[in-house]
Structure 1
Amino acid sequence: MKTGYALHNCHIIYGDGKKFADTNMTILVNEQGRIHQIEKTSNLVVPSHYESIDLTGNYVMPGLINAHVHLFADGKPFTLSVSEKLLNFAFHHLLDTSIGRRILKKRMKKNAITALHSGVTTMRSVGEFFYKDVELREEIHAHKFVGPNLLTAGYFLSVTGGHGAPYLALVGDSPWEARRNVRINVKHGVDLIKICVTGGVTDAKMVGEAGRLQMTEDEVAAICEEAHKIGIRVAAHVESTEGVRVALKGGVDTIEHGAEMDEEIISLYKCNPRALKGYTALIPTLQADYPSAKLDLSLTKVSETVQENSRLVYDSMLASVRQAVEHGIKMGIGTDAAMPFVTHYDMWRELDHLMRKTSLDSLQVIEKATKTNAEILGIDHLTGTIEMGKRADLIVMDHNPLENIKALSNITMVMVNGQLIKNPNVNKMKEVDDLLDLVWSNE
C-alpha cells in the first residue's frame, strides 16, 4: 500500500525569496503529510511504498495563503446599498432559518473548496454568520472533506450602527461589552478576533462614511488585551488614517485594508508594544475596491455613493501599500474574496495588482503570499515555505510564476497536508473575469 508521495523532476520555488527555482528536484511527502526530504532527483532513492509522480518541467511552490477572505459569498456582483427593512427581512426570514443556515454552510464549503483547487491551501476567514466557518474547520480537521487549512473569526465585533452590525457582528458599546464579545467568540472556538474600527463601503449610506471612526481606542485596547492574554490575534477592519491610528494604539495585530500613513502611524506599525508580537502588519485588499472605483457605473451597477466611497478607500489604501513598501512595514496579502468582483479563485490578480502599482516584483509578491503571510498569521512553523518538517501544502504549475505571475491562474495539482488533488477543478465566472480583464485593458 502506497503511503507517501515522491514528486519527481520538478522545479522548486521555496517561497523564501530565493531568486531562481531549483531544477530537477524530488520532494518526498510522508504518510503524516509532512515534507520528509528534498533532494536532487539523481541523488535520491525513493522508498518503495511511496507513490511516484513525474513532474518533469513543472514548477512546485508553497500553497498560497489568502489572509483576508469571507466564505459567505462567491464574488458575483451584488447590490451594496439596500434598505434596512429589506436587510432585516432577508436575515430573519431567509438566512436565519434552519434551511437558510444549511444553504449558507453548503455555499461556504463550496467556496472553500474552490479556493483550494485554485491553489489557496490556507485561508483566514475574517467574518462569517453563525460560526459556520468554525464548523467547516472542524469538519476539515475530522477529514469529512478535503479543504484548505482554515483560520476562523466567527462574527465581527462592532458597535451599534457600526460596520457589519447587527447581522454579521456582535455589538458592544463599551470596553467591558467589547471584552464580553471576545469571550463569546472564543467560547465558540474562533482562531482570531476581527473588529470593525471604522465604517466600510458595503454598508455606507453616504460618501465618507466608509472610513468614519466607530470604535474608541479604549474599546480596541480592551479587545486586544482580552484576546492577547490567551494568545489570539486581533485583525482590524480600518479604512481611514485616524481609524488606523486608533487601531494601532489599541494594539491590533493586523490592519485590514488600511489607509494613508503619517510618521506616528509608520512608527507604530513597526514597533507596537500593545500588539501580540510587538509589531502590526498590513493586509491590503486592493482588488476589493478597484472595479467599483474605476469601472463605469453601467458595468458595475453600483450607486454613485458606492463608487465614490470605493474610490476614496482604494486611493488611500494604495497610498498605504506604497508607504509600507518604502518603509519596510511587514505586509501580507489578502483579497477580500466574497466581495463583488472578488472570486475565491483569482488570488493571482491581487499579486498582479501589487506588481502593477508598486515596485514589488513577482518574487516579492509570491513571498508575501506564502512565507510572510504565514509569519503574520503565526503559522510559519507549519506552512508558508517548502522545508523539511513542514506541512506538504504545495501547488504545481506548468509555467514559472517568477516569470509570469499569471501562471498562478492555472494550477495543475494541489497538495494540502499531504493530500493530493491531481486534477483540481475550478468553475470560473466568465462575466466577472471579463469585467476584471477590462479594468486592466483600460489602464
Structure 2
Amino acid sequence: MKKRYALTNVHVINGDLNRKLQKNMTILINEQGNIQQIEKEQSTTIPNDYEIINLSGKYVMPGLINAHVHLFSDGKPYHVSLSEGILDFAYNHLLNTKLGRKILKKRMKRNALTALHSGVTTMRSVGEFFYTDVELRDEIIAEKFIGPNLLVSGYFLSVTGGHGAPYLAHVGDSPWEARKNVRLNVRSGVDLIKICVTGGVTDAKQIGEAGRLQMTVDEVSAICDEAHKIGLRVAAHVESTEGVRIALKGGVDTIEHGAEMDDEIISLFKCNPNSLDGYTSLIPTLQAAYPSAILDASLSKVNDVVKENSKLVYDSMLLGVKQAIRHDINMGIGTDSAMPFVTHYDLWRELDHYIRQTSLDTKDIIDLVTRSNSEILGINESTGTLDIGKNADLLVLEKNPLDSIEAISGVNMVMVKGDLIKSPSIPNISEVDDILNSVWKAQNSTNETSF
C-alpha cells in the first residue's frame, strides 16, 4: 500500500494547453497512487492519515514523457565509426556474455532512474539489446524498484546491412521474414514494434547513407499488419523524405526523426487508413543531430561522414517539424537519449530547441511533452495530464515553466504512480553539460533563431 499525500499551496499546470494555470491548489493522492482530488486550498478538507507537504507556491505539472529513448548508453560522446571487426569482437566477447549483460542491465537501470529523477515519469524505449528493457519494465511493474513507466520495443526490426543490424536488430529481407520478427518480439513481451525504414547517422559509412531507403513498402505493410492485429503500434526510424513516404504508405503509427514533406506525405500523416488510429504522428529528435552537426570535431569526436550526415538529417528534420506545425500534423517529443550529447536528464534542451527554432511557445511545448505524447503512445487514460483518477505522475518546480522552459531543469520533487522522490539526485555528465551550456549561452547572447 502506498502512502497518501496532500500537496498543498501549489500552482497547477494541467498539461493541456486549453486549460489555464490554477493557483493556490491542493492535490490529494490516494493509496493506489492516483490523483484523488484537485481543489482550491481553502475548499479542501485533508483527511488525518494523509501526509501534508506544503509546497509554498511551487509549480506542479504532469511528469514529462520522453517518446524516444535508448537506455543502453548515457549520452557521453563516443566515436561511432568503428570497424566491423571491433564491433563484432565487442558484441560477442564483451557485451553478449553473462557479465556483459549484467553490466548492461545495471547501466540501463541507472539511466532510467536518472531520467526519472529529472522529471521524466514515462519513457518509450525504442531499441535495446537482449530484451533487457522488457526485464526492467517487468521489475518496475512488480515493484522491485521505483522506476518510470516504461514502454519497450526490444530489438529493432531491420534488413541485412540495415540500421542497427546485426547487433541491435532482428534482420529480415522479405514480408514474411519481417512478420516472423514481429512475432519474435511479441513473444518476448514488447509493448510496440520499432522498425528501421532508412539508414541512420550512427552506422552510416558514406555521406547521404543516413536517409537511404532500406525497407520496401511491402515489408513495412507486413510488419504493420502483424502488429496492428494485436493492437501494437509501429514506430519507424526514418531520415529522408522518401523514407517517410514508404513508412506512411505501409501504415506506421509514428515517424521517428522525420524529414521534409510534400503534399502527399502531409495528407498521409493526417489521414492514414493503414495505421492503427487512422493517422500517423511525428516524433522528431532535434537535439540528437544538432550537436554533431554544429560542434567542432575536436569536441564532438565524430568524423566528417557523421558530421555531414547529422547536418543533412537535422536540416531536413527541422523543415519537417515546421511543416508539421503549419499543417496541424499530430506531433510529440522525443530526444533519442543515449546518442552523443543527449543525456537522460536534459529533456528541457529539446523543448528549448523548439522554442528557438519554431513558432511554438512554452504552453504548446508543455502540451506536446505531456498530453500529446500520452495520446500518441496510447496511455492518455492513465497519465499525461493532472486529472482525477489518473496516475499521480508529476513533478514539482521552483519556477514557472510557462515563463521559461528552462525551469524544467530545476526539479524539486518527482512523483511516479504515487511514489514520491523528495530529493531527486542526478549524476550529471560535466563533459557534456559544459559544452552544451556554452552553446546555449552563445545562442542566448546572439538571440539565435536559425541553424
Taking structure 2 as the reference length, the TM-score comes to 0.97
CA offset digits 1:224-247 (Å, max 9, x no partner): 000000000000000000000000
Q: Which amino acid aligns with 1:310?
A: S
The 5 A counterparts of 1:28-427 are 28-427=28-427
The question of whether the paired residues in 1 share the 8 Å contact of 2:2 and 2:33 is answered with no
The question of whether the paired residues in 2 share the 8 Å contact of 1:10 and 1:59 is answered with yes
In 2, the alpha carbon distance for the partners of 1:171 and 1:11 equals: 50
Change (3 A) 1:54 1:95: same
Corresponding residue of 2:7: 7
The question of whether the paired residues in 2 share the 8 Å contact of 1:2 and 1:51 is answered with no
In 1, the alpha carbon distance for the partners of 2:183 and 2:301 equals: 40
Secondary structure at 1:56 match in 2: strand
CA offset digits 1:86-105 (Å, max 9, x no partner): 00000000000000000000
The question of whether the paired residues in 2 share the 8 Å contact of 1:12 and 1:23 is answered with yes
In 2, the alpha carbon distance for the partners of 1:2 and 1:182 equals: 37
In 1, the alpha carbon distance for the partners of 2:394 and 2:47 equals: 21
In 2, the alpha carbon distance for the partners of 1:3 and 1:45 equals: 18
Following superposition, the deviation at residue 438 of structure 1 comes to: 2.5
In 1, the alpha carbon distance for the partners of 2:2 and 2:365 equals: 36
The question of whether the paired residues in 2 share the 8 Å contact of 1:294 and 1:439 is answered with no
Secondary structure at 2:290 match in 1: helix
Following superposition, the deviation at residue 439 of structure 1 comes to: 2.5
Secondary structure at 1:399 match in 2: coil
Secondary structure at 2:37 match in 1: strand
The question of whether the paired residues in 2 share the 8 Å contact of 1:261 and 1:323 is answered with yes
Following superposition, the deviation at residue 429 of structure 1 comes to: 1.1
In 2, the alpha carbon distance for the partners of 1:80 and 1:249 equals: 32
CA offset digits 1:50-96 (Å, max 9, x no partner): 11100111000000000000000000001111100000000000000
The question of whether the paired residues in 2 share the 8 Å contact of 1:30 and 1:36 is answered with yes
Q: Which amino acid aligns with 2:169?
A: A
In 2, the alpha carbon distance for the partners of 1:415 and 1:67 equals: 19
In 2, the alpha carbon distance for the partners of 1:213 and 1:376 equals: 25
Following superposition, the deviation at residue 395 of structure 1 comes to: 0.2
Following superposition, the deviation at residue 143 of structure 1 comes to: 0.7
Q: Which amino acid aligns with 1:315?
A: D
Q: Which amino acid aligns with 1:71?
A: L
In 2, the alpha carbon distance for the partners of 1:18 and 1:234 equals: 29
CA offset digits 1:245-299 (Å, max 9, x no partner): 0000000000000000000000000000000000000000000000000111122
Give the gaps of 5 or more residues in structure 2. Answer: none
The question of whether the paired residues in 1 share the 8 Å contact of 2:285 and 2:333 is answered with yes
In 1, the alpha carbon distance for the partners of 2:2 and 2:111 equals: 31
Change (3 A) 1:113 1:248: same
The question of whether the paired residues in 1 share the 8 Å contact of 2:259 and 2:317 is answered with yes
In 2, the alpha carbon distance for the partners of 1:434 and 1:241 equals: 34
In 1, the alpha carbon distance for the partners of 2:408 and 2:205 equals: 37
The question of whether the paired residues in 1 share the 8 Å contact of 2:9 and 2:56 is answered with yes
Secondary structure at 2:128 match in 1: coil
Secondary structure at 1:199 match in 2: coil
In 2, the alpha carbon distance for the partners of 1:23 and 1:89 equals: 58
Q: Which amino acid aligns with 1:229?
A: K
Following superposition, the deviation at residue 3 of structure 1 comes to: 3.4
Q: Which amino acid aligns with 2:395?
A: I
CA offset digits 1:5-32 (Å, max 9, x no partner): 0000100000011464211100000000
Secondary structure at 2:57 match in 1: coil
The question of whether the paired residues in 2 share the 8 Å contact of 1:24 and 1:56 is answered with no
CA offset digits 1:158-204 (Å, max 9, x no partner): 00000000000000000000000000000000000000000000000
CA offset digits 1:191-219 (Å, max 9, x no partner): 00000000000000000000000000000
In 2, the alpha carbon distance for the partners of 1:429 and 1:92 equals: 28
CA offset digits 1:386-443 (Å, max 9, x no partner): 0000000000001000001111001010000000000010011121011112223154
Aligned length: 443
In 1, the alpha carbon distance for the partners of 2:429 and 2:223 equals: 39
Change (3 A) 1:2 1:434: closer
In 2, the alpha carbon distance for the partners of 1:2 and 1:24 equals: 25
Secondary structure at 1:385 match in 2: coil
In 2, the alpha carbon distance for the partners of 1:119 and 1:275 equals: 31
Give the gaps of 5 or more residues in structure 1. Answer: none
Q: Which amino acid aligns with 2:323?
A: Q
Corresponding residue of 2:22: 22
Root-mean-square deviation (CA, aligned residues, Å) is 1.0
Taking structure 1 as the reference length, the TM-score comes to 0.99
The question of whether the paired residues in 2 share the 8 Å contact of 1:291 and 1:439 is answered with no
